[in-house]
Amino acid sequence: MSDLDATTPRVFLARHGETEWTKNGRYTGITDLDLTPEGVKQTTSTAAKLVGHGRLIDPARLVRIWVSPRRRAKQTFNSLFGNGDSGSGLVKSDDDRVVITEDIAEWGYGDYEGMRTGEVKKWRKERGLDGDREWSIWRDGCEGGESMDQVTVRLDGVIDEIRAMQGPLINGERPADVMLVAHGLILRAFVKRWLKYPIDQDLPMIYPPGGISVLSYKNRNVEEPGFFVGLALPADN
């Protein structure tokens, strides 16, 4: 399958742009931060290169866009689809295709909100936890927050909905691309579940602020989910 003229439905994942806590490596779940000026540049630059009619992410081919309810994700959605002061966005926030939902909000960090990984590990060990192995959010979850199983349930619900929408259109009968605009950790968890791996599966991933990932299916088969290792971008008109 060539991405140049792909008709197999795709799933675009967009991580929000930089925030002050992104820069500092702090776990940011429910804390409602704005994008930094650099974060806005990241998302508008991505939009200029990848979003638009005839581009990789073509609004005319999108049938559903899930957006996390956090402000940084909403700002990223608006940047990606040109929803500035002019109001001439490619996809407006009140479009019927747009769903604002906690289903793709960031992992609930609970007591670890605002902390760094090293701080969490140190704090847990000081209280006698993790004596035989280091803490892993993927396996151990967060005290006062979400477990691996809880995150799995909500992401699997979204994945089931996506496959129900795209399965009947797997051969390109009509456009059926979808998009998620969310957060770094939850989107990496989503990739694991899309590939049918448990969330604690060791799968090192790097996901920069403002980054775009693309998932789809092998062999036009909804039971063979995959991801693009590389992309052939549409030719300039």
What gap in Å lies between CA 120 and CA 142, rounded to an integer? Answer: 9
**Residue 184 CB neighbour total at 10 angstroms:** 19
Q: Judge: domain 3-227, CATH 3.40.50.1240.
A: yes
Q: Is 201 left (phi over 0), alpha (psi -120 to 50) or beta?
A: beta
pTM: 0.94
Exposure of 138 in the CB half-sphere (CA atoms within 13 A): 17
Q: Mean pLDDT, consecutive 10-residue segments, the chain of 237 residues?
A: 64 97 95 96 93 93 98 96 75 93 98 97 95 94 98 98 97 95 98 98 94 95 92 70
What gap in Å lies between CA 73 and CA 217, rounded to an integer? Answer: 26
**Residues of the binding site for substrate:** 28-29, 72, 106-109
Which letter, b or e, does each residue of 69-98 get, where b requires 16 or more Cβ atoms within 10 Å of its Cβ? ebebbbbbbbbbbbbeeeeebbbeeeeeeb
What gap in Å lies between CA 22 and CA 35, rounded to an integer? Answer: 9
Q: Is the dihedral of CA 35, 107, 49, 57 positive or negative?
A: negative
Residue 83's pLDDT is what?
Answer: 84
Residue 5's pLDDT is what?
Answer: 44
- The domain spans of the chain are 3-227
Residue 87's pLDDT is what?
Answer: 59
Residue 86's pLDDT is what?
Answer: 56
What gap in Å lies between CA 150 and CA 2, rounded to an integer? Answer: 36
Exposure of 41 in the CB half-sphere (CA atoms within 13 A): 3
Active site residues: 16, 106
